[in-house]
Amino acid sequence: MSEQATTVLLISGPNLNLLGDREPEIYGSETLDVHVATATRAAERNGLTLNHIQSNHEGELIEAIQQARHSAGSIVINAGAFSHTSWAIHDALKSFDGPVVELHLSNPAAREEFRHLSVIAPVADGTVAGFGNLGYDLAIDAVARLLKQK
Ligand code: DQA
């Protein structure tokens, strides 16, 4: 596989920079750095390289997805609250050819009504939700398996 094909882009959306501090009873006490370290180890275990970007800005997330068309073979995305609203992120992901896994720390389906709709889900191969830090392992393993199936 080429360098692009073996690169996984992990995208973290708004407010995920506050993990550790933010509603730990829902999101856990781990910081985003801890989750990125878990994802990095999972990628290495699968012979992949992880790149990570976090932004609170929708446009920056869209630009990262557009750039990934030329620099990454797969995407794992926790778009935070944009998961429920951003048709622009939906459209950007639609233009990406490789595997896409949607990721959430919490289980949005078991929370407030407004979190039940994901506009990312229809353009993802699948969703990992509700497993906290373990989800980062599962999501990277999922893209690794999808890449092997290709
Ligand atoms: C989240 C769930 C979203 O509903 C919320 O807006 C987030 C985090 C999660 O990881 O559980 O910011 O994506």
Overall number of domains in the chain:
1
* 2 domain-assigned: no
Tell me the residue type at 65: I
Whether 96 is in a domain gets the answer yes
Ligand 1 atom showing the smallest separation from residue 13 Cα? 12
Using most ligand atoms within 8 A of CB, pick from 78, 127, 131, 138 the residue to mutate for ligand 1: 78
Residue pLDDT, tens place only, 8-20 = 999 999 999 999 9
Tell if the pTM clears 0.85, that is, is over it.
Answer: yes
For residue 74, the one-letter residue type is: S
Question: Does residue 58 form part of some domain?
Answer: yes
Pocket of ligand 1, beta carbon within 6 A: 15, 78, 80-81, 83, 104-106, 108, 115
Residues labelled catalytic:
27, 104
Is 1 inside any structural domain? no
Residue 8: per-residue pLDDT:
98
- Residue written as token pair 């995407």: 75
Decide: 35 and 133 in contact? Cβ < 8 Å.
yes
Q: Which of the residues in the chain have pLDDT under 50? A: none
Closest CA to 77 of 49, 116, 104: 104
4/56 Cα distance (integer angstroms): 26
Range of the domain at 101: 7-149
Amino acid 1: pLDDT: 83
Q: What is the pLDDT of residue 150?
A: 73
Q: Is residue 123 situated within a structural domain?
A: yes
Q: What is the CATH number of the domain that holds 37?
A: 3.40.50.9100
- The pLDDT of residue 27 is 96
Largest CA distance in the chain: 42
Q: Which residues are bridge partners to 71 per DSSP?
A: none
